Amino acid sequence: MRRGWKMALSGGLRCCRRVLSWVPVLVIVLVVLWSYYAYVFELCLVTVLSPAEKVIYLILYHAIFVFFTWTYWKSIFTLPQQPNQKFHLSYTDKERYENEERPEVQKQMLVDMAKKLPVYTRTGSGAVRFCDRCNLIKPDRCHHCSVCAMCVLKMDHHCPWVNNCIGFSNYKFFLQFLAYSVLYCLYIATTVFSYFIKYWRGELPSVRSKFHVLFLLFVACMFFVSLVILFGYHCWLVSRNKTTLEAFCTPVFTSGPEKNGFNLGFIKNIQQVFGDKKKFWLIPIGSSPGDGHSFPMRSMNESQNPLLANEEPWEDNEDDNQGKLGQRL
């Protein structure tokens, strides 16, 4: 009976947490909806008197608004990508691992299993990175998200403002969302400013639109400052081919810690997120290269690394994999 109550309470708490996790998203949506009303109706249709100016303002605003909301939608609803099945322990390996009581033997078991996989990063102590909650060997740059309760490929961080984990599958969309958010706020602030001055000097009648125009400028400037700092930081991360987690905790490779282990050079670093086709860089569609399980590394030249040499990476044949990995490890 007591156990049943505990399970019911735990389920209720999880349900409440899921509901509350959408509160930041709801706040952003409400602010955006109000900004749309204030700009389109109170500024363009009521305050602006020139028909030509109205048309220009509305066309440019809606062009930015479409990309802004599109990238926000993609950031929220693009699911984080998890490691595929070959990184999970088989039923037999899992039983052997859990039944083994000696830590040094468990460690060696993981090393033997990792030899079959494209895994180069290690823990701080040099052990194979293993998630005991998901029962899998973590691919390079993969981390377990406690909020999403899953391992996420190339995890950057969990963002409450999109209620989603930002990683390999949606990092491009998140960056685009930040860029279009900055542009959205900047456009509103620059076009509203002249009418803010007119209201301030009393050149326009004090009507209901005055409040919306004044507050619109204040909110746009406030969000612009915070967003441009965040966007600038992520641009720096992209230029170094780092995730937020890697910026705070240096990745450890089989050869030791290396803070620039994935740094391939400025252009290639950008292509690791946006792809090599520039026509897709501004559009929120998936174009990041690879599958999120393995990444080209600075320490490997083109003849050693199949991802840099444009070869077929990591064939399913285990014998071939072991031979190739043996040369690298």
Catalytic (active-site) positions? 159
Supply φ then ψ for residue 251, to 5 degrees.
Answer: -65, 145
| DSSP β-bridge partners for residue 88 | 136
Secondary structure class of 228 (helix, strand, coil): helix
CB 95 within 8 A of CB 106: no
Gap between the terminal Cα atoms of the chain: 54
Encoding tokens for residue 155? 């995890």
Q: Which residues contact 303 (CB under 8 A, 6 or more apart)?
A: 309
Pairing of strands 130-131, 136-137: antiparallel
Query: Which of 169, 183, 273 minimizes the C-alpha distance to 231?
Result: 183
- The position carrying tokens 């050693």 is 304
